[in-house]
Amino acid sequence: SSRKYASAVTVRKNDVPKIIYEDDEIIVCNKPPGLNTAPGISQKPSLCHFVSEHYGYGPSDLNKMCVHRLDTDTSGVVILARSQQSLKHLHYQFRERRTKKVYECLVACSMSVESGWIDMPLGRDFENPPWMRVITD
């Protein structure tokens, strides 16, 4: 069955991204839920817009700084590059799986245990883009 999804979260005025680390090569932000990581076709506000305005970068720099993305409804740490050299190096680290990423999620069902690990591969949900799902086949 085909399902239509809309963002379940909206960005609250006081829920702006927080810069948690910066140096000459990178900017690390805590992205709130409901905010796009990078600008899309809709041109809704994004984390990259926020960082661009904060540091005075030009509009053409927005997509050049994004090392990786989080889904709009996902909160978490996002790394942005401050130079092409940093971007290339960080893309390599992510592509080669040299970074460690940890995800936490809420599960909406009855569980037989209070906590635990779900260790299953994730992939694109081709029936419901742009969503991801556990790959079982």
| Interval 9-27: pLDDT, tens | 455 556 689 999 999 999 9
- Residue of 61, 71, 73, 125 with catalytic role: 71
CA 32/CA 76 separation, integer angstroms: 7
> Could you give the count of Cα atoms lying within 13 Å of 11 in the half-sphere of its Cβ?
18
Mind listing the pLDDT tens digit for each residue in 70-90?
Answer: 988 889 999 999 989 999 999
Mind listing the pLDDT tens digit for each residue in 26-76?
Answer: 999 999 988 888 887 777 788 988 888 888 887 667 667 889 989 888 899
Active site annotation includes 71: yes
pLDDT confidence band for 3 (50 / 70 / 90): very low
CA-based nearest residue to 87, from 120, 119, 57: 57
CA-based nearest residue to 45, from 7, 81, 88: 7
